[in-house]
Structure 1
Amino acid sequence: MKELTNKVALITGATGGIGRAAASRFAEEGAKLVLADLNEDAGESLAKEIRELGTDAIFVRTDVAKPHDHERLVAAAMINYGRLDAAFNNAGISDGPIPPGFIDYPLELWDRLIAVNLSGVFYAMRAQIPAMLKHGGGSIVNTGSIASQIGFAGVPGYVAAKHGVFGLSKVAAIEYGSKGIRCNVLAPGIIETPMTQAILQNKQAHDMTTGGIPAGRVGRPEEIADMALWLCSARSSYANGACFTVDGGYLAQ
């Protein structure tokens, strides 16, 4: 049997590199999909592609920085499919290729990073957990980063938000583990996606971020999607409150 047969899975940031790869993998494994993103045209196109492959999918335009959008997103899952079994809270933004130093870091950039990358995950879980409890639980996977565990100069907003995602996930795991809900963090290293394109094309940033990867290369979105699938499936049934790093060995040093 496929890993997610008869399961309903929600993915935010669904049209980006990792989100799109996850949508494809989840669909292959039988999940009914609720796709969320700000890009309406790309989201509707992705949902159509998935339906044409024989899997149920809907798209809901979602600004993850707005609590009401998450409530509307989960309501769409319940109205269309009657349940929510898995959520991959993957939407996020970066500081840019080379932001200014700490004391010159723009306040508006700080506010935006925290709103999307941290508050957006809190709003998501706040809406998703009640829906999962109605049917005995589920699995929540939040996209963190190697920056959930270590610091990087020049990106205080991103590092603070990703550290916060790990903390939020631990709290949810503790509070709801006994009620059938697991919450874990998936922490990629540098992955070749549209969001990292500017970094990888900038020589200084590229050398700083990729020079020390033992695998000798950046990761592929499909490699992160496979881990997200595992964490959303029953095969990871005893994994809760943990951070799963997929970084080619970067943090092993």
Structure 2
Amino acid sequence: MAARNRRRSTARKRRQERLKAGVIGGIGGLVLLTVFWQVIWPYLVGGLAIVGGAAGGWWLWRTSRLAKGHDHQWRREEAVKVGHRSLTEVDTMSGGEFEDFVVELCRRDGCTEVRRVGGSHDDGADVLGCLPDGRSMVIQCKRYSPKNRIPSREIRDLLGARVHFKVDVAIFVTTTYFTGPSERTAVQNGVVAVHRDHLGLWNNGVSLLSLSDVNGAGQGDRRHRARWKKTYG
């Protein structure tokens, strides 16, 4: 019992000593601050101004970044709505209108320097420009009847255009599908083959760059082809 009382007394004295030291330190600091205030106040105010300015700058930068992100998302959504066409509407377009439609989709996705070059002497190219990542591209556009298929020779023409225009990426966009050999020719030679299903995805907001990730896929299974044949003959 006596030992416990001694420990309590010792702990109480230590707390009192720490409290006294803290009070003395605080008074000493206050005295020093008062004595040297004329010397340190410019540095203190300057430090607070720097910290406040940095915090304010960070807040403005973050607010601006969030606003730009939201604005970009809104603009993209609006561009998709404005440029949206049903595939039935696309099927009624002329060849030139279809090329303009492809140009609009490219610009919507952030492609630059996009321009139509199609014509009687187009050297196998309808659209030229640059992808959002900076790579140059050439596009061949074919608005064919859904009954038709893209043959291999048209893929080879586009490969020639890629060499002629010295571009990085060749893209074939069509309202129909590719034959088996033409699809293999495209995939084996790095041509992005955008068939009807992919065109529908692109038209609905999927980016052009993401279509290259599913190149050579999505032309339907046996049941899909049976329904297609029944519809279009």
TM-score strictly above 0.5:
no
Q: Which has the larger radius of gyration?
A: 2
**TM-score normalised per structure 1:** 0.35
Q: TM-score, normalised by structure 2?
A: 0.37
Greater relative contact order structure (CA < 8 Å, 6+ sep): 1
